[in-house]
Amino acid sequence: MFEPKGIIVAMLTPMFADETINEKELRNQVNRFVDSGIHGLFCLGTNGEFYGLSYEEKLKVMKIVLDENKGRLPVYAGTGGVTTKETILLTQKAKELGAHAVSVVCPYYAASDQKTLYNHFKDVAQAVDIPIILYNIPPRTGVNMDADTVAKLSEIKNIVGVKDSSGNFDNILKYIEATPDDFAVLSGNDSLILWNLLAGGKGGIAGCANIVPKELVAIYERFIAGDLEGAKKAQSSIRPIREVFKMGNPNSIIKRATELMGYNVGPCRAPFNIDNPKLDAALKEVLSKFEKQ
């Protein structure tokens, strides 16, 4: 069974100023991450602006990432949508294209209860034979997956893990306690990666890995090597970057920071493209402490 683990980068989708996809830079990012020692590539997540891409563009991103990766790393694709039907369709395409696993976010906009969530994920899992990672991000979807729901879903063979971006460490602990040891609980909050590992989780899907991938990799590698102090140092090193997130939309800030690190990833799609001199000044001050990676 596929085992999600380590630091999986929540990849940006590079764009030109006219908001079309920058294929050359997307390929560059794939190779950059492989060289950094990252443990997996996750395209079409929140940082990949899945919510602002068309179906055809999502397929294009998957194809480019898989083609450039050439089997070197596991590739995870975000395939979640508002309805079960559209989620199944995109998940089927991800499997056809060769993705190793998919991440499926909780349905959003329309209100969901726990039964609705269970039925949605169950139906997707039964429709497509591919490893599935549940994606819990209540600030964006308006619903939190209860630990009991995750526990029930973990009994389905191809549901192999959950990414928790609630920012609530107690939520992560409940997931770990409620699921088998071989079920991967991944932190979607970069500040909690080490603490998730200490509690029995398997790693993290990290947005900040777009900016400083080697620092994120060091958290996991040092922890696995038994160097807890080194892992703590690596974990603490990204705190100044995350402090800047309070100035705006986090994934817009991550994309801007990556651009300021010297990569032509472009802006987020409007209206989430930011033009804030104060933000740029704050980012430049923080990023000056890191080498280009």
Residues noted as catalytic: 135, 163
Alpha-carbon span 113 to 148, nearest angstrom: 13
| Residues composing the chain | 293
Alpha-carbon span 13 to 188, nearest angstrom: 18
Structure tokens, 99: 């993705």
Bond prior to 271 in cis (omega within 30° of 0): yes
Name the residue among 32, 8, 11 with its Cα closest to residue 262.
32
Indicate the angle between helix axes 250-260 and 277-287, nearest 10 degrees: 60
Name the residue among 215, 212, 213, 210 with its Cα closest to residue 230.
215
Integer CA distances (angstroms), 174 to 146, 147, 258, in order: 9, 6, 33
Structure tokens, 10: 């929540």
The widest CA-to-CA distance across the chain, in whole angstroms, is 49
Name the residue among 215, 268, 276, 214 with its Cα closest to residue 240.
215
Give CA angle at 97 (216, 163), nearest 5°. 35
46, with CB counted inside 10 A (0-12, 13-18, 19+), is buried
Name the residue among 206, 192, 136, 133 with its Cα closest to residue 164.
136
